[in-house]
């Protein structure tokens, strides 16, 4: 199973102080050095975490694949065509939400999604669709002949409040994606504990994880940086 590391929240911390650090590029380099297979960033309409220049900077400087999450808007599609990431992940986006709260409504968006897939394929960019573990949404793909390269199953509901029943919905969805012959990824809300269960699901090839990794990084790094500061000012 591969790991996509979402570094948005490094930019969130930077933006909170209006400083130039912490730099998302540095976070990406550390994540890649530690084994990340993909770097994921979500360029939101309100630019609350990464900004346009971060995305271009990452694409230019990292030596692994970039996955750019965006809403299906003209503005974002134009940026994606200029950045030329390995893949774009289409996600629903509401300005007032704290994070991506649900998957795409394939039935309502099908003609837009088909034209995005066609447009992106013509420039060599793979397309991922972020979908809830809901078989009805997945059935639309077949019925409406929508052919993304990747489906990312939204694991947020399971991770927020895990149950065997919710895990089974994810398993069913991944089996359906596999039957459609589409690569299956999963993400949202995944911690180390959740990952131990989710990694057993055979059809998922990549997990995209952000918030829990950046959160844990604070505790794994705080001791060392406080010690360095203390030593520096004491000497």
Instruction: Report d(CA 79, CA 106) in Å as an integer.
Output: 23
Catalytic residue among 29, 49, 69, 194: 69
CB 7, min distance to ligand PXP, A = 10
Catalytic residue among 42, 49, 185, 194: 42
- Judged by DSSP in three states, 123 sits in coil
CB 91, min distance to ligand PXP, A = 5
Instruction: Report d(CA 101, CA 91) in Å as an integer.
Output: 10
Q: Which residue's CB is nearer to ligand PXP, number 68 or number 227?
A: 68
Tell me whether residue 81 is exposed, middle or buried, using C-beta atoms within 10 angstroms of its C-beta: 0 to 12, 13 to 18, 19 or more: middle
CB 231, min distance to ligand PXP, A = 34
H-assigned helices in the chain:
8-17, 24-33, 52-61, 74-83, 106-122, 135-143, 156-160, 164-179, 192-198, 211-234
Instruction: Report d(CA 81, CA 24) in Å as an integer.
Output: 21
| Nearest partner of 6 among 207, 161, 147, 230, judged by Cα | 207
Strand partners, 74: none
Instruction: Report d(CA 186, CA 154) in Å as an integer.
Output: 6
**For this structure, is 194 an active site residue?**
no
Give the angle subtended at the CA of 104 by the CAs of 100 and 105, to the nearest 5°.
Answer: 135
CB 77, min distance to ligand PXP, A = 17
Q: Which residue's CB is nearer to ligand PXP, number 48 or number 110?
A: 48
CB 13, min distance to ligand PXP, A = 14
User: Which residues here bind ligand PXP, judged by CB under 6 A?
Assistant: 6, 8, 42, 69, 89, 91, 99-100, 130, 152, 187-190, 208-212
**For this structure, is 69 an active site residue?**
yes
Q: Which residue's CB is nearer to ligand PXP, number 54 or number 143?
A: 54
Take residue 193 and report the two structure tokens written for it.
């504990």
Catalytic residue among 49, 176, 188, 194: 188
Q: Which residue's CB is nearer to ligand PXP, number 130 or number 158?
A: 130
Q: Which residue's CB is nearer to ligand PXP, number 148 or number 189?
A: 189
Please give the positions annotated as active site: 42, 69, 188
């Amino acid at each position: 199973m591969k790991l996509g590391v979402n570094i948005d929240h490094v930019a969130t911390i930077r933006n909170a102080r209006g400083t130039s650090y912490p730099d998302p590029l540095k976070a990406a380099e550390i994540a890649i050095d530690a084994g990340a297979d993909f770097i994921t960033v979500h360029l939101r309409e309100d630019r609350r975490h990464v900004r346009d220049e971060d995305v271009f900077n990452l694409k230019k400087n990292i030596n692994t694949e970039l996955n750019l999450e965006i809403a299906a808007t003209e503005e974002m599609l134009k940026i994606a065509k200029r950045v030329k990431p390995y893949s774009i992940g289409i996600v629903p986006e509401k300005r007032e939400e704290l994070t991506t709260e649900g998957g795409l409504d394939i039935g309502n968006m099908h003609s837009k999604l088909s034209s995005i897939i066609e447009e992106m394929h013509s420039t060599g960019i793979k397309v991922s669709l972020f979908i809830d573990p809901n078989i009805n949404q997945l059935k639309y793909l077949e019925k409406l002949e929508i052919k993304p390269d990747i489906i990312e199953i939204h694991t947020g509901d399971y991770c927020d409040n895990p149950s065997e029943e919710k895990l089974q919905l994810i398993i069913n969805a991944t089996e359906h994606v596999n039957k459609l012959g589409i690569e299956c990824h999963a993400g949202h809300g995944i911690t180390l504990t959740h990952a131990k269960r989710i990694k057993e699901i055979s059809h998922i090839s990549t997990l995209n994880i952000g918030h829990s990794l950046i959160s844990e990084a604070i505790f794994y790094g705080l001791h060392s940086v406080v010690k360095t500061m203390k030593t520096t000012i004491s000497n």
